[in-house]
């Protein structure tokens, strides 16, 4: 019986090898070919054999269904299988039929094969050796539960038995394993002496055993897990000794672990369990419990069938383990059960952390970590409850106090306890590494100082030797309105710590100087005025120069908001407003002196930190603090406990994935900007001041904390995000964001579409047509050009952020560029940005909104201008730093570390 699908290159040889068998009586061999929907010349080639073969044609349904069809149509005493790209050796049938005639207890015979290439040249004389597969005879179901040993073109089984077996499921391409295992559950299996066929390796099946191709090997392993699960739950396992059954189950568990680890996906995705599976597991477990006393072996077999249906059933595994162990075998627990056991062992180790010798404690913890890594690879990271997170933070706080006293042994003990409670606590991980290193006399690992300076250092000033308070004025505006210079002169005199930087874009230095001198004269001021003024001329407008100027300045001397990067500066035109703005700078925002602020972000190290959104967030906060005269440093997790940070007045933690534990001798501020589900009330209570980027989340936390949690939304940096059109980025729709290894909902709702779409981000290739992929990374200056030039910018939120009312900073950035933004539905969008963002709820709604907006460019421009004005008035990092400094300055002034 031959299955063929598009094998015109080989099918004739396969058919001839079956027709030309030696030593068989005339007319004793019926050749059935199932043509499984071939689209090449296979049907014509088969027709050339005339009535010497029987051809059954069907729509393409796969090898398993084709095999089922052929077996059902067979009439012989024996059924022999042959793939359409292989060939039988001339005496194949005679040898296996003789064996079956002599041994009635045997239900299936298979044998070795010679491995050949597409042209028929021998690659290896033995496929069994080439593939590393054993060949076992007798009642060998236990071995077939581990792995298949029989290959299609080498199989012959009794005809009545073949036609009585349950058909292979359509998804099961390895129908040889199915047939062999089904027979092994009922009869003996025999292996013929010597090769019986020629197995062909070519382009279509060259990696049938995964040789040389890791992805092919992984696919085979994944398939084997599915097949083995089905066999364990459906076959009669009565002939399998319990040690063999335990070994087969353990092999299955290890295969599940390996597939999940290499796929980077939880094993739950690989072996989904539905209500029917759970009901089957319940029934098989009831059977096992009923048979436990009178038939322990039968009970164990029913228990493993329950586990195959639902691998997370701890009660089924416990029963199977006890019964198999009594027979001298100890099966490996499946990942879900190992996770529960590991949780209990971690809790016990945390309780004994201060009683065990440190070396033993560290060894036990490392063993548990290795096991946790395997289980997490299989199931995905385990969720950590709020209680465990809080207990872990308590242990980290105790460890930091011990380290401050120089007791690194006690610190290491507490940190192991912290990691037992919350294995993902990155602060504890780095702190433990440092404590153990100090105990061993090892220096701290080198830090990437160059990356730190490049990614977090202050941007170069545009105004050299400027005084404390800097304002920018546009030369053209001063020429048209000399009263602005009079207001400056009334606000400041030569002794004041203030600088006016006059920017003259599009002018030579000589022309700019003449223009400013004329403006001074018109204002009644002398060119020798002793107030500090500097002139910056540029032959052409330069967004980069303007951004640096805006980064130096705290105000715009003008009556209306400027365009471009200077638009974030508040326009001030009266002496009183200018003087008040300067007083805040001179008073260091109420602190009375420059503050030093350590901004803690959740990137583990500087290597790779650029891909973390909170780095860009932190840089914007740091730049704003620096231009006000404060000192700001940004620290990744491995630096959180470094002396530089500890010497700062204020620790500002931008809370994302990981929790920072503040010290008693610093003013501490928590600002939750993402992952709100990880923040507990007890964590907030560790800080002097706590903020959340969501008003809703802040209110919910405040009901459960000792101090109120205040709302402080995300923001934009208008020196980075401003209108900057670029024809190279002109697209109908732009989305900037990584795929997160799935099809994000807004992209799923957008595609397919005939609109000109540009998606920027990583890991989109498996999910999106390549014509929509613009690139993996955009630097911030290019992001603003993409936003400005797009017809519409799309935005979405993490599920937990949307549920808790967090508005993405992408919204503020895009609006600051004057873009039209369409976002998923978060009610806080209208509360924070009334009328500025278009929300959608369903796919049709999204497409209708896009069509409407793209058809109305004038309406988009008007909405973009209004939205930009709203963002610049309320939602810049300057406004956020005002709030932060208002909160911490009184504490610093009073010298209070804790409120």
Q: Phi, psi at residue 354, to the nearest 5°?
A: -95, 5
- Residue in this structure with the two tokens 């067979």, named with its chain if needed: 74
pLDDT at 701 (0 to 100): 95
Measured distance CA(671)–CA(885) in Å, rounded: 13
φ, ψ dihedrals at 292, nearest 5°: -55, -45
Tokens for 701? 């936390």
Phi and psi, residue 28, nearest 5°: -90, -10
Contact assessment for residue 785 and residue 801, using Cβ atoms and an 8 Å cutoff: no
Residue 500, SS3? strand
pLDDT value of residue 268: 67
DSSP states of 547-560: HHHHHH-SEEESSS
Give the phi and the psi of residue 880 in degrees, each rounded to 5: -70, -40
Q: What is the tens place of the pLDDT at every residue in 746-758?
A: 999 999 999 999 9
CA–CA dist 785, 731 (Å, integer): 11
Is the peptide bond preceding residue 752 cis, with omega within 30 degrees of 0? yes
The DSSP secondary-structure symbol of 875 reads -
Question: Which tens digits make up the pLDDT trace of 10-51?
Answer: 999 999 999 999 999 998 999 999 999 999 999 999 999 999
Note whether 567 and 543 are within 8 A (CB).
Answer: no
DSSP annotation string for 765-784: TTTS-GGGEEES---HHHHH
Other Cβ atoms less than 10 A from the Cβ of 278: the count is: 15
- Contact by Cβ (8 Å): 42, 14: no
Sign (positive or negative) of CA dihedral 508, 513, 516, 521: negative
Residue 500 to residue 486: CA distance in whole angstroms: 12
Residue 752: strand, helix, or coil:
coil
Cβ atoms of 823 and 794 within 8 Å: the answer is yes
pLDDT of residue 312: 82
Q: Give the pLDDT confidence score for residue 897 in this predicted structure.
A: 41
CA atoms within 13 A on the CB side of 725: 10
Q: In sequence order, what are the residues at sequence separation of 6 or more whose Cβ sits closer than 8 angstroms to the Cβ of residue 343?
A: 382
Decide if 833 contacts 821 (C-beta within 8 A).
no
The neighbouring-strand residues paired with 760 are 736, 775
CA distance 302 to 313: 13
Residue with tokens 């709020």: 386
CB count in 10 Å sphere of residue 171 = 12
3 state SS for 97-117: HHHHHHCCCEEEEEEEEEEEC
Q: DSSP of 815-842, one letter per residue?
A: HHTT--EEEE--THHHHHSTTTEEEE-S
Q: What is the pTM of this model?
A: 0.72
Give the helix ranges, DSSP H, for 236-313.
242-263, 267-270, 275-291, 296-309
Q: 797: which 2 tokens? A: 């939120």
DSSP secondary-structure letter at 652? Answer: E
Residue stretches of the chain with pLDDT short of 70: 203-214, 264-270, 896-899
What tokens does 329 get?
């075998």
CA 114 to CA 122: how far, in whole Å?
A: 7
- The single residue listed with the structure tokens 């066929």 is 197
Contacts for 447 with CB less than 8 Å, ≥ 6 apart: 606, 638, 639
């Amino acid at each position: 019986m031959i299955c063929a699908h598009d094998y015109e290159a080989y099918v004739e040889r396969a058919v001839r090898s079956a027709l030309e068998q030696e030593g068989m009586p005339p007319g004793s061999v019926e050749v059935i070919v199932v043509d499984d929907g071939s689209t090449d010349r296979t049907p014509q080639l088969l027709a050339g054999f005339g009535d010497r073969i029987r051809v059954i044609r069907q729509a393409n349904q796969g090898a398993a269904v084709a095999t089922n069809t052929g077996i059902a149509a067979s009439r012989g005493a024996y059924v022999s299988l042959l793939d359409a790209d292989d060939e039988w050796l001339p005496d194949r049938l005679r040898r296996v039929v003789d064996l079956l005639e002599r041994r009635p207890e045997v239900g299936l015979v298979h044998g070795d094969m010679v491995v050949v290439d597409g042209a028929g040249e021998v690659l290896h004389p033995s496929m069994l050796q080439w593939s590393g597969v054993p060949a076992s005879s007798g009642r060998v179901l236990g071995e077939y539960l581990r792995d298949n040993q029989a290959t299609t073109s080498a199989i012959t089984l009794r005809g009545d038995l073949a036609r009585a077996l349950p058909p292979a499921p359509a998804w099961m391409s390895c129908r040889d394993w199915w047939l062999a295992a089904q027979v092994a559950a009922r009869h003996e299996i025999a292996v013929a002496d010597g090769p019986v066929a020629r197995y062909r390796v070519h382009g279509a099946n060259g990696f049938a055993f995964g040789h040389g191709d890791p992805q092919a090997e992984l696919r085979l392993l994944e398939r084997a897990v599915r097949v083995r699960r089905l066999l364990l739950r459906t076959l009669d396992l009565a002939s399998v000794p319990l040690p063999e059954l335990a070994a087969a189950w353990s092999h299955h568990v290890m295969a599940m672990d390996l597939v999940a680890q290499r796929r980077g996906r939880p094993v739950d995705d690989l072996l989904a369990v539905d209500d029917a599976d759970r009901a089957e597991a319940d029934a098989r477990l009831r059977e096992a419990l009923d048979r436990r006393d009178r038939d322990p072996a039968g009970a164990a077999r029913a228990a493993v069938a329950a586990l195959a249906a639902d691998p997370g059933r701890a009660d089924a595994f416990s029963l199977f383990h006890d019964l198999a162990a009594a027979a001298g075998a100890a099966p490996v627990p499946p990942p879900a059960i190992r996770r529960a056991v590991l949780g209990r062992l971690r809790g016990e180790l945390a309780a004994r952390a201060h009683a065990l010798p440190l070396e033993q404690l560290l060894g036990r913890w490392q063993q548990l970590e290795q096991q946790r890594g395997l289980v997490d690879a299989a199931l995905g990271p385990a969720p950590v409850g709020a209680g465990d997170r809080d207990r872990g933070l308590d242990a980290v706080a105790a460890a930091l106090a011990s380290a401050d006293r120089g007791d690194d042994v006690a610190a290491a003990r507490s940190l192991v306890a912290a990691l037992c409670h919350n294995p993902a606590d990155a602060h504890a991980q780095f702190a433990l590494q440092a404590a153990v290193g100090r105990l061993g006399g090892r220096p701290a690992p080198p830090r990437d100082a160059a990356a730190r300076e490049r990614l977090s250092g202050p941007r170069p000033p545009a105004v050299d030797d400027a005084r404390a308070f800097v304002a920018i004025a546009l030369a053209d505006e001063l020429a048209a309105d000399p009263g602005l210079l009079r207001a400056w002169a009334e606000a400041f005199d030569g002794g004041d710590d203030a600088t006016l930087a006059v920017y003259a874009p599009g002018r030579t230095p000589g022309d700019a100087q003449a223009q400013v001198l004329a403006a001074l004269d018109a204002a009644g001021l002398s060119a020798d005025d002793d107030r500090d003024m500097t002139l910056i001329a540029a032959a052409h407008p330069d967004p980069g120069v303007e951004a640096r100027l805006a980064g130096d300045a705290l105000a715009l001397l003008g009556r209306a908001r400027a365009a471009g990067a200077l638009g974030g500066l508040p326009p001030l035109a009266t002496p009183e407003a200018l003087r008040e703005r300067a007083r805040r700078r001179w008073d260091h925002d109420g602190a009375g002196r420059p503050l030093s602020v350590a901004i803690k972000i959740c990137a583990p190290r500087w290597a790779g930190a650029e891909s973390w959104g909170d780095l860009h967030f932190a840089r914007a906060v740091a730049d704003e603090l620096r231009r006000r005269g404060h000192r700001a440093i940004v620290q990744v997790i491995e630096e959180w406990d470094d002396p530089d940070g500890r010497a700062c007045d204020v620790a500002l933690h931008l809370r994302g994935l990981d929790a920072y534990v503040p010290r008693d001798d610093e003013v501490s501020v928590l600002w939750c900007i993402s992952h709100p589900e990880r923040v507990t009330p007890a964590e907030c209570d560790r800080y002097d001041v706590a903020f959340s980027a969501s008003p809703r989340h802040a209110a919910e936390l405040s009901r459960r904390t000792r101090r109120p949690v205040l709302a402080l939304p995300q923001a934009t940096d208008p020196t980075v995000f401003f209108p900057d059109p670029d024809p190279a980025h002109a697209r109908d729709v732009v989305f900037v964001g990584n795929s997160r290894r799935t099809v994000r909902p807004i992209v799923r709702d957008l595609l397919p579409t005939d609109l000109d779409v540009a998606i920027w981000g990583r890991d989109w290739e498996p999910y999106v047509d390549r014509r929509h992929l613009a690139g993996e990374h955009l630097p911030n200056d290019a992001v603003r050009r993409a936003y400005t030039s797009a017809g519409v910018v799309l935005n979405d939120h993490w599920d937990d952020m949307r549920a808790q009312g967090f508005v993405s900073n992408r919204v503020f950035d895009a609006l600051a560029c004057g873009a039209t933004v369409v976002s998923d539905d978060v009610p806080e969008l209208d509360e924070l940005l009334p009328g500025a963002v278009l929300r959608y709820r369903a796919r049709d709604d999204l497409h209708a909104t896009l069509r409407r907006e793209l058809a109305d460019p004038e309406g988009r421009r008007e909405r973009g201008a209004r939205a930009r004005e709203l963002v610049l008035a309320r939602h810049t990092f300057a406004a956020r730093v005002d709030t932060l400094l208002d909160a911490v300055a009184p504490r610093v002034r009073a010298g209070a570390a804790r409120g």
